[in-house]
Amino acid sequence: MKFSRQHVLICYGNKLGYYHGAKYQILRGYHWLKNYDICVVTDRPDLFYGYPINLLRLDERQIHEWSLEGRNHFGIKLRGLHWAIESAPAHIQKSVLLDTDMYWTKDPEKVQKLIGPHSSVLYQDEGPIFGSKDASIRRYSEGLGTQRFANDACQYELSALSRMWRSSIIGVDHSNGSVLTEAFELFRLLSPHVKAHTVEQFALGETLRNHQINLIEAKHLVGDWSSIGKKNYATPILAEFFKKFGELDFNTHLDNVHKIKIKRPISVFLKQKVDRWKKP
């Protein structure tokens, strides 16, 4: 069966939890995602053999180049999503990427319906750069100011319209796939000037805005285990699941995924809070 939309996940590196998170996302949402082409961009395709997905294998050269020679690995997200779009069959018209520490709580078709040639989906609008009360967002006005930056691929100047958008979800129409390449070049241009790990998502939001593509928030459609406390609780639970059932038995995983409970009990949440307070 041919599907007109693609679900994309990107995972790489030396932490097994990212790969387990990707598989958990597929399994937990498979009653919806079985109607999608699922593409995983990864340096460890061996961890996904047996899953009903398409695999794109990241090699060392790509990781080196796309992470700006190891200085900022978030560039892999922009280039990896573009690669997935370029590699998709011609009948695929839209792609949605979800970070591996997220999961669908609502039908992702709700996101697909928001995507078009003149609209894209991102996770959350965190507000304007200028005047932000968030210290990490203020680093953009501090680092970029009113200067104009340029290289052979692009030029940029911070605007009163510039905003920070979180990119835990990225939904794009394939007619706008080239925007991801432009965003990567802006990411490359700005990274040396901003002391923040969010340059990738800022570059994407600004590139979409400059193309007059309407940005729509989709935070309400997903859950996450992205905070340090949630990760510390969920990561060993996922590790134990894949230790018990193996890494590759998709059907067994699907039959048992309902047993995974990654939401922290209130007792664990409170203990983590107390432990953090006790730290010097």
C-beta neighbour count of 100 within 10 angstroms: 23
Question: Mean pLDDT across the chain, nearest whole number?
Answer: 94
Q: Which residues pair with 41 in a beta bridge?
A: 10, 56
Q: Looking at this protein, which amino acid is placed at residue 115?
A: I
Q: Which residues pair with 169 in a beta bridge?
A: 98
Answer whether 262's CB lies under 8 Å from 268's CB. Answer: no
**Residue 69 lies inside a defined structural domain of this protein:** no
Q: The domain containing residue 200 runs over which residues?
A: 114-224
CA distance 111 to 96: 8
Asked if residue 238 and residue 150 are part of one domain, the reply reads no
pLDDT of residue 268: 77
Q: Tokens representing 86? A: 């370029």
The tally of domains found in the chain comes to 2
**Residue 126 lies inside a defined structural domain of this protein:** yes
pLDDT digits (tens, 9 = 90+) for 182-219: 999 999 999 999 999 999 999 999 999 999 999 999 99
pLDDT digits (tens, 9 = 90+) for 55-109: 999 999 999 999 999 999 999 999 999 999 999 999 999 999 999 999 999 999 9
Which of helix, strand or coil describes residue 40? strand
Asked if residue 243 and residue 214 are part of one domain, the reply reads no
In 190-269, the DSSP E strands lie at 214-217, 222-224
Distance of CA 27 to the CA centre of its chain: 17
Domain boundary among 208, 224, 240: 224
Asked if residue 261 and residue 177 are part of one domain, the reply reads no
CA distance 249 to 216: 37
**Residue 62 lies inside a defined structural domain of this protein:** no
**Residue 205 lies inside a defined structural domain of this protein:** yes
Domain boundary among 224, 240, 268: 224
Asked if residue 170 and residue 130 are part of one domain, the reply reads yes
**Residue 98 lies inside a defined structural domain of this protein:** no
Confidence of residue 270 (pLDDT cuts 50, 70, 90): confident
